[in-house]
Amino acid sequence: MFPGFAQCQAIKNNLFKHTNLQIAFRPTNTTYQQLSQRRTNNNKPSGIYQLKCNTCKISYVGQLGRPITTCYKEHIRYIRQNNPMSAYAMHIPNNRHKFGPAEETLRPLKPCTKGTKMNCWEALYIYIYT
Ligand SMILES: [Zn+2]
């Protein structure tokens, strides 16, 4: 939800009710964006992510400090190597569960850069999601 969302919904419902047009609103001035640090062009920035198991839908919160594709590959490698560094990585082989593609498995919660701030956000999101 963002400021003006309700108005957008109203416009959508009234103006386009009798058409087959699919309207999508893309807010450009959300609180989330205001609170986020400078955005990079990378659409998968470093930050706090939710990792989901494709089998039992259990989720883990973790911080990924490097570009996500790298981290994701790392996670997959952890899983293959049974590396205890990652709780998520342990969950998959321990329960013989499956991991999906990065787009389905990783959900960005908060983009931020590595450091104290990231640790705080991670702690907060772990608190929220567990
Ligand atoms: Zn699972």
Domains of the chain by residue range: 47-129
**Distance between Cα 104 and ligand 1 center (Å):** 14
Which residues are in the CB-under-5-Å shell of ion ligand 1?
A: 53, 55-56, 58, 97
**Distance between Cα 63 and ligand 1 center (Å):** 19
Angle at 124 between CA 118 and CA 126, to 5 degrees: 100
> How far apart are the C-alpha atoms of 97 and 93, rounded to whole Å?
6
**Distance between Cα 95 and ligand 1 center (Å):** 6
In the numeric block, the tokens 């990231």 are attached to: 118
**Distance between Cα 91 and ligand 1 center (Å):** 6
Residue 121 has a CB neighbour count (10 Å cut-off) of: 18
Residue 62 has a CB neighbour count (10 Å cut-off) of: 20
> How far apart are the C-alpha atoms of 130 and 123, rounded to whole Å?
11
State the pLDDT at residue 1.
53
In terms of pTM, does the model score above 0.75?
no
**Distance between Cα 13 and ligand 1 center (Å):** 40
> How far apart are the C-alpha atoms of 59 and 105, rounded to whole Å?
9
**Distance between Cα 92 and ligand 1 center (Å):** 6
Q: Which CATH superfamily is domain 47-129 in?
A: GIY-YIG endonuclease (3.40.1440.10)
> How far apart are the C-alpha atoms of 86 and 123, rounded to whole Å?
16
- At position 35, the amino acid (one-letter code) is L
> How far apart are the C-alpha atoms of 59 and 61, rounded to whole Å?
7
Per-residue tens of pLDDT for the chain, all 130 residues: 555 566 556 655 666 566 665 556 555 556 665 555 444 445 667 888 888 888 998 888 888 776 666 777 777 777 777 665 567 777 888 899 987 887 788 888 888 887 888 888 888 888 888 7
**Distance between Cα 69 and ligand 1 center (Å):** 21
Helix (H, G, I), strand (E, B) or coil at 95: coil
